[in-house]
Structure 1
């Protein structure tokens, strides 16, 4: 079994299985830990800046990668070419990646440099921040590599790999034969984020998506426990 087949043919399914089943089991068995464990009372200023920059950048990157990688080429080829799509992804993803990288750097420095915060941090908190820091740095490192082939060819291969993985089609691993190790490491760490997701504070992301249900839920009916009484009527009092 080749290392590429293990990492990019089997590992994605292991990560997705752990991501989905692990999240379900944690919600079922350990709901009290389903939170982000905020340390807002300690150095709230740096937390505000770091958290806001990180969330803005990462949320944009998450939805951008999801739509960009999983949308088949025939659905947008009449509106935008592969090369222009790659250029748009490089510019917008570069800005969002830089914001996220600055944000996670602030959060990591805050958690490691302040002794009180470090004492109140779990090992998983620090490991997760380091993982995200490296992942965002690698994402930014892919931009110069993408600039070397602006025809969008490599982007199309990576997108086809992702689409074949999620649709259980064969031939996905072979598409990565010419990909740089930077792309491969970025993809590997991205999958690893999903692998560790159920065991970290990242599970609170599910709650964020769950709040969208409030937009379509029916109105809540509230009825008074007091009976409506006609005017002038007094309620007898017990002596």
Structure 2
């Protein structure tokens, strides 16, 4: 990969993806709210969906949370509690377990979309495309595990990738120089950013609604008043004429 392409992919492309991700999601919510849904096919066949959906969501939520916290938490914050080497080993074990769970669920969902005739006929092309992209992304993520395990002695790769992510979110232009890692990491990063790029144009937008529903936990109770009339003592409530 030449220097110009490397600089574009790891210093410019992330901002393009994040801008489309945020502005595209807002535009779709404003203009096409009737398409803001998960397009569930549960009515067509629920058995395989139940296993696939549960495994996929458990795994993907853990991976999303783990990647966010692991990459964006500065080293000096967790250094007093856990070393970088132990943190990387923990990430390999927990991330690998969650990745396998997610992979099993996503494989079930993709198989169901492709090989069930009724579901395939009612599926949008974007549904199949986004599932296929996520499946490849999971394969790449699992492929990085042996490289991370081999690097566990000094956690060099993990520290580089975390520093790159933190420079991206803090708008420092020298981020691409840190991506001197093996090719599975590079492809995994680029495809992961591409998922954010495609996010507003797919069924993934329902993820926003899932996070927004957490706000219901902090809403005050709804007061429901009785429809009975408050009749003073000694007075008879008037009867309604039929």
Query: Is TM more than 0.5 here?
Result: yes
In the aligned structure 2, how far is the partner of 1:218 from the partner of 1:120?
40
SS where residue 98 of structure 2 aligns?
A: helix
In the aligned structure 2, how far is the partner of 1:14 from the partner of 1:237?
67
Q: How do residues 4-43 of structure 1 correspond to structure 2 at under 5 angstroms? A: 4-43=6-45
- 1:155 aligned to which of 140, 154, 158: 158
Match of 1:118 in 2: 120
Would you say 1:175 and 2:215 are equivalent positions?
Answer: no
Would you say 1:96 and 2:126 are equivalent positions?
Answer: no
Would you say 1:214 and 2:216 are equivalent positions?
Answer: yes
Q: How much has 1:70 moved relative to structure 2?
A: 0.1
Q: How much has 1:223 moved relative to structure 2?
A: 2.2
Q: How do residues 39-78 of structure 1 correspond to structure 2 at under 5 angstroms? A: 39-78=41-80
The change in CA–CA distance for 1:237 and 1:46 in structure 2 (over 3 A counts) is: closer
In the aligned structure 2, how far is the partner of 1:54 from the partner of 1:183?
22
Q: How much has 1:167 moved relative to structure 2?
A: 0.5
* Cα displacement string for residues 110-130 of structure 1 (whole angstroms, at most 9, x for unaligned residues): 100011110000000000000
Q: How much has 1:26 moved relative to structure 2?
A: 0.6
The change in CA–CA distance for 1:83 and 1:222 in structure 2 (over 3 A counts) is: same
SS where residue 147 of structure 1 aligns?
A: helix
Match of 2:236 in 1: 233
Q: Are the equivalent residues in 1 in contact too, given 2:11–2:174 (CA < 8 A)? A: no
Q: How much has 1:236 moved relative to structure 2?
A: 4.7
* Cα displacement string for residues 58-112 of structure 1 (whole angstroms, at most 9, x for unaligned residues): 0000000000000000000011111100000000000000000111111001100
Q: How much has 1:170 moved relative to structure 2?
A: 2.5
Q: How much has 1:237 moved relative to structure 2?
A: 4.0
Query: Which has the larger displacement, 222-231 or 120-129?
Result: 222-231
Q: Are the equivalent residues in 1 in contact too, given 2:41–2:119 (CA < 8 A)? A: yes
Task: List runs of 5+ in structure 2 lacking aligned partners.
Answer: none
Aligned length: 238
Q: Give the TM-score normalised by the residue count of structure 2.
A: 0.95
- What is the root-mean-square deviation in Å for CA atoms of aligned residues? 1.3
Task: List runs of 5+ in structure 1 lacking aligned partners.
Answer: none
Would you say 1:203 and 2:170 are equivalent positions?
Answer: no
In the aligned structure 1, how far is the partner of 2:224 from the partner of 2:240?
27
